[in-house]
């Protein structure tokens, strides 16, 4: 059954079949070929259980909140970021990275961030004399902050994929320090490149301008505070927080900024439905594959193999990160999380690795895969906005990719980078 599953999955992925359907086809064929129980019963029950989850409702509401808020706050966030870091050499590159960090606290989706920020920043950078490929690379690299800064849709997916054994709130909080570190390192890389290429300084630093732009961006900046603060304080669950985010975004768009119209809603509803349906299909069919792997004792066999290869948790995590890097180069982060997490989480537990630390590390690695060729979805979006060939962006993005993986290495070596804030909030002992 495992051979059938592996061969079918490999062939369908090589043929370009969407991952959700590749999982479904391989799982179904494996069941029909080698299962002793009714294949149709397993397919139906497993697929339904994969989608039958209350926390799963958080995803469409987080996506909808980002869609509704995006139209209202992108320019305000960019102006606020500009007032803070525009005076540094290569100001617009720093503005892009800081804007993406702020915007990530609203959407939690990297591709949405690339589209929202990139359409404004890339033309502005080109007009100021920046290399267009460099501008697109900065946008693509900085967009990885979106799924790392809380709230994060991939973190929700991970919690669901491992059966709710890890707190979504803890995973959200685990991303705070790494996101700040990535932002700082990306800005350092941009500064070095800007000095070398003579990119301009945007404007002098003025406290008056900072205060003025902060007031304009206040409603946007309050959104992640309300969401994460409400979850940590116990006022509402992750799912309820997602609903709050959607209503908050609608309130800001309709009442405060007044740039959201009823006629806009169908478009945002459709976009939300598309994203949600993709996630549902992935979860449904991955549950079928997970059932097969569990019945065949793959997690147990993998644990035994890993423990025979090494007794060091650090060496185990290094091997996992190399594997995740390879997977991330070819598979979308959401699909990778759903496929890998249920298998790897029990093995990590056998090595006594903190589940919050391991979960964040796994998600971060696969998120970075969104900017590594050949299947870096954020790279394709950024290339489309800039109207450039993918290769020209790849040539410019490697310094940022190397820097990001450097932070990932620190996360692996020093668990407290991810665990300090969850520990303060009482999620980690």
Residue 356 forms part of a structural domain: yes
Show the 3-state SS of 240-253: HHHHHHHHHHHHHH
User: What does the radius of gyration of the chain's CA atoms come to, in whole angstroms?
Assistant: 22
pTM score > 0.85 for this model?
no
Query: Is 20 within the bounds of a domain?
Result: no
Is the distance from CB of 49 to CB of 365 less than 8 angstroms?
no
**From CA 371, how far away is CA 384, in angstroms rounded?**
14
- The range of the structural domain enclosing residue 256 comes to 54-424
> Per-residue b/e over 73-105, b at no fewer than 16 CB within 10 Å?
bbebbbbbbbbbbbebbbbbbbbbbbbbbbbbb
Q: What are phi and psi of 270, to 5 degrees?
A: -65, -45
Residue 227 lies in a domain: yes
Task: Give which of 350, 351, 291, 210 is closest to 42, Cα–Cα.
Answer: 291
- pLDDT tens per residue, range 12-27: 777 777 777 887 788 7
Instruction: Give 28-69 pLDDT, tens digit per residue.
Output: 887 777 666 666 777 777 777 767 777 677 778 877 877 777
Residue 188 has pLDDT above 80, yes or no: yes
In a domain, 388, yes or no: yes
Domain count, the chain: 1
List Cα–Cα distances, 205 to 81, 86, 271, in angstroms: 11, 7, 39
Structural domain contains residue 16:
no
Give domain status of residue 29, yes or no: no
> Does residue 6 fall inside a structural domain?
no
Whether residue 102 is contained in a domain is answered as yes
Determine the Cα–Cα distance for residues 3 and 154; give it in Å rounded to an integer. Answer: 29
pLDDT at 214 exceeding the cut of 80: yes
| 330: pLDDT strictly greater than 90 | no
With a CB cutoff of 8 Å and minimum separation 6, the contacts of 413 are: 314
């Amino acid at each position: 059954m495992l051979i059938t599953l592996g061969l079918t999955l490999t062939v369908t992925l090589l043929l370009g079949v969407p991952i959700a359907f590749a999982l479904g086809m391989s799982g179904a064929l494996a069941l029909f070929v080698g299962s002793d129980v009714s294949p149709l019963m397993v397919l139906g029950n497993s697929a339904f259980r994969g989608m039958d989850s209350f926390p799963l409702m958080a995803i469409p509401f987080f996506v909808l909140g980002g869609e509704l808020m995006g139209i209202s706050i992108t320019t305000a966030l960019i102006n606020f970021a500009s007032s803070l870091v525009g005076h540094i050499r290569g100001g617009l590159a720093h503005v892009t990275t800081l804007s993406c960090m702020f915007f990530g606290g609203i959407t939690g989706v990297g591709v949405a961030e690339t589209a929202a920020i990139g359409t404004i920043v890339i033309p502005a950078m080109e007009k100021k004399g920046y290399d267009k490929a460099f501008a697109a690379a900065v946008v693509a690299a900085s967009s990885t902050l979106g799924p790392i800064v809380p709230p994060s849709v991939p973190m929700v997916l991970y919690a669901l994929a491992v059966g709710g054994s890890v707190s979504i709130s803890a995973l959200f909080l685990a991303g705070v320090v790494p996101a700040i570190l990535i932002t700082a390192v990306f800005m350092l890389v941009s500064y070095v490149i800007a000095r070398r290429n003579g990119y301009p300084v945007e404007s002098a630093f003025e406290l008056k301008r900072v205060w003025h732009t902060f007031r304009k961006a206040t409603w946007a900046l309050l959104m992640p505070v309300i969401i994460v603060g409400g979850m940590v304080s116990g006022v509402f669950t992750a799912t309820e927080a997602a609903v709050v985010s959607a209503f908050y975004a609608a309130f800001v768009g309709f009442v405060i900024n007044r740039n959201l119209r009823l006629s806009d809603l169908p478009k945002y509803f459709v976009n939300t439905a598309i994203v949600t349906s993709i996630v549902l299909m992935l979860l449904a069919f991955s549950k079928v594959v997970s059932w097969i792997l569990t019945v065949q004792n793959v997690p147990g066999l993998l644990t035994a193999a890993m423990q025979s290869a090494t007794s060091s948790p650090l060496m185990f995590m290094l091997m996992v990160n190399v594997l995740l890097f390879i997977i991330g180069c070819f598979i979308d982060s959401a699909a990778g999380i759903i496929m890998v997490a249920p298998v790897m989480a029990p093995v990590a537990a056998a090595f006594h690795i903190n589940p919050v630390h391991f979960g964040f590390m796994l998600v971060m690695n696969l998120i970075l895969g969104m900017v590594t060729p050949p299947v870096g979805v954020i790279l394709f979006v950024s290339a489309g906005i800039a109207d450039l060939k993918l290769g020209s962006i790849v040539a410019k993005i490697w310094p940022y990719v190397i820097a990001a993986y450097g932070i990932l290495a620190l996360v692996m070596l020093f668990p407290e980078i991810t665990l300090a804030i969850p520990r303060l909030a009482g999620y980690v002992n």
